[in-house]
Amino acid sequence: MTVDRTILGRPLRGVAFDVFVSGAVVLVGLAGVVNQPGGWWATLVGVGMAVALLFRRAHPSAVAAVVAGLALVQVIAGWGPLAFDIAVLIALYSVVKYADRLRDGVLAGVAAAVGVVLAALQTDGALAWWASALYFGLVTGAVWLVGLNVRTRRLYVVSLEERAATLEREREAEARAAVAGERARIARELHDVVAHSMAVMIVQADGARFMIDRDPATAREAVRVVADTGRQALEEMRRLVGVLREPSPPETVAAGPDGARVVEPEHRRPALAELPALLDRFSDAGLRVRRTVSGEPAHLPPGLELTVYRVVQEGLTNALKHAGVGATVEVTLDHTADAVAVRVVDDGRGRPPVRPAPSGGHGLVGMRERVGVYDGRLTAGPRLAGGWQVEVRLPLPSTPTAEAVAA
């Protein structure tokens, strides 16, 4: 991890560079103390400019004003242009680059133009004053334009960083909203599962009460069903406790032909036995769907069965949206003694739909939430051979043991 060191709230690298620049100006002023006009007094002016440059990033306009004032003192004293006047160019560059408003840079440029004329008038030599003014003006103008270019680039980078930060916040907010919506949907569906279990228990208990004297064997079987159903319902309820319940509108699922989507009733709870019908709908929509089932299908709890159904449904929907019509999709269900594995793989070789499906979905987020409820594992990503694959492994609940019931 990179740690940016600071001094008085400023980056250490920037402070070190400013100290170096100021020190260089001081050395230039001291080097000419013997030969330059004004002697030590002129050197003190150069030292004042150098000290002001230490604050050129935090207060560029104030630094430019101080340096311009000291340069005016130099002009009034009649010392002419000196070596440490490079501080004027540095201050001009700084105000153009770092000032909050470009207006300050324009004003600094105007002041620099006036200073160029005054400095040219005090230049000793064979060249005419206008030739010196032209030279000083070209150098000053080049510095001003460089500062403007760097300022434009810096503001552009800052705007890109702000835009990226805004997009990241929006993505996080959308992901949180998708998670909340998916958890609400899971909660409703699991509620239906538990409610169904309770209804079965009540019916079986009533049957056992009426048959306990007439047919004890039937009554015992009914009581066993009540116990097994109750244990299963408690397990589903335990999972339900960790799921956030929030009201949400009915979900739109399963893509249909030509981008149309099939709307399921809000409280409809599909069963795993409906997978062939689901595959047929996607085949009608244009996918080439193949199904492979291996192992001996075990009896799954209703909530786990619903999760398998939804994973297959979401995988096929993503294949139709992204791989396109005509893509080949392989749906594999592998049943083992301790888990059920689901794999949805497409070859990515379909043609895009005439009307592309709207983007911005959260299919993977929803699948991850569903799989996480049952402590499963989700793997999704592109394939080296092309296309996309989704693999889910859901552990089966252990067989409940008999519990002692105290009367």
The CATH number assigned to the domain holding 360 equals 3.30.565.10
pLDDT value of position 255: 45
Please tell me the predicted confidence (pLDDT) of residue 49: 85
The verdict on 37 and 120 lying in the same domain is yes
Distance in angstroms (rounded) separating the CA atoms of residues 286 and 100: 58
The CATH number given to whatever domain includes residue 227 is: 1.20.5
Q: Is residue 85 part of a domain?
A: yes
18-32, 51-65, 328-342, 376-390: the lowest-pLDDT one = 18-32
Closest by Cα among 297, 389, 383 to 343: 389
> Strand 388-395 to strand 377-382: parallel, antiparallel, or no bridges (unpaired)?
antiparallel
Task: Write down which residue in 102, 124, 146 finishes a domain.
Answer: 124
Are 141 and 105 contacting, i.e. CB atoms less than 8 angstroms apart?
no
Residue 153 reports pLDDT greater than 70 = yes
- Rounded Cα distance between 23 and 58, Å, is 18
Q: Which residue has the higher pLDDT, 195 or 349?
A: 349
Q: Are 234 and 269 part of one and the same domain?
A: no
Q: Please check the confidence at residue 285 and state whether its pLDDT lies above 80.
A: no
> Chain-wide mean pLDDT for the chain?
76
Claim to verify: residue 105 and residue 209 sit in the same structural domain: no
Q: What pLDDT is attached to residue 329?
A: 92
Provide the token pair at 391: 């693999």
Tens-place pLDDT, residues 239-253: 666 554 444 444 444
| CA–CA dist 27, 35 (Å, integer) | 14
Check pLDDT > 50 for residue 43.
Answer: yes
Q: What is the pLDDT of residue 171?
A: 85
DSSP state, 321? I
> Mind listing the pLDDT tens digit for each residue in 253-265?
444 444 444 444 4
Lowest mean pLDDT among 23-27, 47-51, 129-133, 215-219: 129-133
Tell me, what's the pLDDT at 365? 76
Indicate the residue among 194, 214, 241 that finishes a domain.
241
CB 302 within 8 A of CB 193: yes
Question: Which has the closest alpha carbon to 98: 44, 153, 162, 140?
Answer: 153
222 with 273, same domain: the answer is no
Range of the domain at 101: 6-124
Same domain, residue pair 191 and 116: no
Neighbours of 140 (CB within 10 A): 19
How many domains does the chain fold into? 3
| 237 and 292 both lie in a single domain | no
303 and 342 share one domain: yes
pLDDT of residue 198 exceeding 90, the answer is: no
Query: pLDDT category, 406, cuts 50, 70, 90?
Result: very low
CA 117 to chain centre: 54
Dihedral angle at the C-alpha atoms of 315, 316, 318, 320, nearest 10 degrees?
170
pLDDT of residue 199: 65
Q: For residue 304, what are its two tokens?
A: 């786990």
Q: Which residue has the higher pLDDT, 301 or 291?
A: 291
Where is average pLDDT lowest: 25-29, 232-236, 390-394?
Answer: 232-236
pLDDT (0 to 100) of residue 344: 93
Q: Are strands 328-335 and 288-294 parallel, antiparallel or unpaired?
A: parallel
pLDDT of residue 155: 87
Backbone φ and ψ of 121, nearest 5°: -65, -25
- Cα separation, 37 vs 376, whole angstroms: 84
341-360 average pLDDT score: 69
Closest CA to 374 of 390, 361, 393, 358: 393
> Does residue 234 lie within any of the structural domains?
yes
CB within 8 A of 236, min separation 6: which ones? 190, 193, 194, 197, 301, 302, 303
Is the CB of residue 276 less than 8 Å from the CB of residue 284? no
Statement to judge: residues 232 and 268 lie in one domain: no
* Across 324-348, average pLDDT: 89
Place of tokens 């039937």: 218
Give me the mean pLDDT over the 267-291 stretch.
77
In-domain check, residue 299: yes
Q: How far apart are CA 81 and CA 25, in angstroms?
A: 14
Query: pLDDT for 362-371, tens place per residue?
Result: 567 778 877 8
Asked whether the beta carbons of 254 and 281 are under 8 A apart, the reply is yes
Domain annotation covers residue 312: yes
Which of 15-19, 213-217, 262-266, 385-389 has the lowest average pLDDT? 262-266
∠ CA 328-303-396, rounded to 5°: 80
Whether residues 308 and 390 share a domain: the answer is yes
Residue 2 has pLDDT above 50, yes or no: no
Q: Are 336 and 293 in contact (CB under 8 A)?
A: no
Share of the chain above pLDDT 90, in %: 7
In one letter, which amino acid is 320?
L
> Of the candidates 99, 124, 149, which is a domain's last residue?
124
Q: Residue 178 pLDDT > 60, yes or no?
A: yes
The radius of gyration of the chain from alpha carbons, rounded to an integer in Å, stands at 39
State the average pLDDT over residues 177-202.
69
The answer to whether position 168 is within a domain reads no
Q: Tell me how far the alpha carbon of residue 53 is from its chain's centroid.
A: 39
Asked whether residue 138 is domain-assigned, the answer is no
Q: Are residues 262 and 386 in the same domain?
A: yes
In a domain, 325, yes or no: yes
User: pLDDT category, 192, cuts 50, 70, 90?
Assistant: low
Note whether 210 and 270 are same-domain residues.
no
Average pLDDT over residues 324-347: 90
Q: What is the DSSP string of 215-260?
A: -HHHHHHHHHHHHHHHHHHHHHHHHHHTS-----PPPEEEE-GGG-
Residue 393: pLDDT over 90: yes
CB 111 within 8 A of CB 89: no
Q: Which residues contact 177 (CB under 8 A, 6 or more apart)?
A: none
Domain membership flag for residue 170: no
- 331 compared with 1, residue with greater pLDDT: 331
Same domain, 262 and 371: yes
Q: Label residue 200 by pLDDT band (50, 70, 90).
A: low
